[in-house]
Structure 1
Amino acid sequence: MPAELAEKTDRYGEMLADALAAAEIAVPADTPAHDAAREVREMAVAYLDDGEHFRAADDPVNALASFSYGYGWLDCGVRLGLFDVPEETELFTV
Structure 2
Amino acid sequence: MPADLDEKMNRYGELLAQAVDAAEIAPPEGTPLHDAALECEEMAVSYLEDGRHFREQDDPVNALASFSYGHAWLDAGARVGLFDVPTEGHLFTV
SS of 2:92's equivalent in the other structure is coil
In the alignment, which residue of structure 2 is the partner of 1:77? Answer: 77
Could you tell me which runs of 5 or more consecutive residues in structure 2 were left unpaired when the two chains were aligned. Answer: none
1: CA distance between counterparts of 2:62 and 2:19? Answer: 20
Task: Report the Cα offset of residue 82 of structure 1.
Answer: 0.3
For structure 1, list consecutive stretches of 5 or more residues without a partner in the other structure: none
**In percent, how many aligned pairs have the same letter?**
70
- Supply the distance in 2 between the matched residues of 1:89 and 1:28 (Cα, whole angstroms): 26
Distance between the aligned counterparts of 1:87 and 1:93, measured in 2? Answer: 8
Which whole-Å CA distance do the structure 1 matches of 2:90 and 2:5 have between them? 22
Aligned-pair CA distance for 1:90: 2.4
> Take 1:44 and 1:58, find their aligned partners in 2: how far apart are those partners?
21
Q: CA RMSD in A?
A: 0.7
Equivalent residue number for residue 58 of structure 1: 58
- Aligned partners of 2:90 and 2:12: how far apart in 1? 14
1:36 aligns with 2:36: yes
**How many residues get paired?**
94
Any idea what the Cα deviations from partners look like across 1:13-43, whole Å, max 9, x if unmatched? 0000000000000101000000000000000
In terms of mean alpha carbon deviation, does 78-87 or 9-18 score higher? Answer: 78-87
